[in-house]
Chain A
Amino acid sequence: QVQLVESGGGVVQPGKSLGLSCAASGFSFSAYSMHWVRLAPGKGLEWVALISFDGTNEHYADSVEGRFTISRDNSKNTLYLQMSSLTIEDTAVYYCAKGTGRNSWAFDGWGQGSLVTVSS
């Protein structure tokens, strides 16, 4: 049974940085791509970033390119999202999501989410 547990959310001032983690269990973490997807207040789902099963390929949404960095540690079954130069528009619940395959751009499992609030 896929289990994904996000942590690291909180309140942060505009322009500052924050890091999220996602602890994975119940599946072979190193065999799947992983994603971050967010849900901003009053808006729809927005894909944020993905990383391939081995960490060699990363892709980002235009809205976060150059500010966010996705990474993974397969020895720890953990996914990360480092966010910098945060703006109010980054306020959202951030979900960690399991890809459907090694380099898949779709997902089939989600964590409960971690709330990031950017506010002065």
Chain B
Amino acid sequence: DIVMTQTPLSLSVTPGQPASISCNSSQSLLHSDGRTYLFWYLQKPGQPPQPLIYQISNRFSGVPDRFSGSGSGTDFTLKISRVESDDVGIYYCMQSKQLPTFGQGTKVEIK
């Protein structure tokens, strides 16, 4: 299994300030088809998870452009350029190069 490790596990951010979450995979997520199967999801309180980013850096439909993803190989980052109160929740990275595995989750709170 590919192990996904997120840091930090919790983050307290002032509204309007940036935030960054790191995700490391135990092996490269670059598939033989040339794509890198790294995704980001957000679970807001009391809601099901919602998709944010696919294949490292592509935003799913409807995701605000303050969310961006970057990285390659085994190291990836989700950035929120200006955190809003609606961004609170738990952020998960996930790989699907092999059967899906998630990171532990990063809880984002507002100061």
Residues of A at the B interface (CB closer than 8 Å) are 35, 37, 39, 44-47, 50, 59, 61-62, 95, 100, 104-113
Contacts and interface: CB of A to CB of B under 8 A. Distances in A.
B72 to A, nearest CB: 18
Contacts of A107: 51
Contacts of B1: 62
B99 A59 contact: yes
Contacts of B67: none
A105 B100 contact: yes
Contact of A45 (B49, B96, B98): B49
Given A45-B43, A45-B49, A45-B92, A106 B54 contact: yes
A67 B41 CA distance: 28
A108 B59 CA distance: 11
A112 B44 CA distance: 12
Interface residues of B, number: 23
B74 interface: no
Interface in B65-111: 90, 92, 94, 96, 98-105
Given A45-B105, A100-B54, A95 B48 contact: yes
Nearest to A44: B105
A61 to B, nearest CB: 7
Contact of A44 (B37, B96, B100, B103): B103
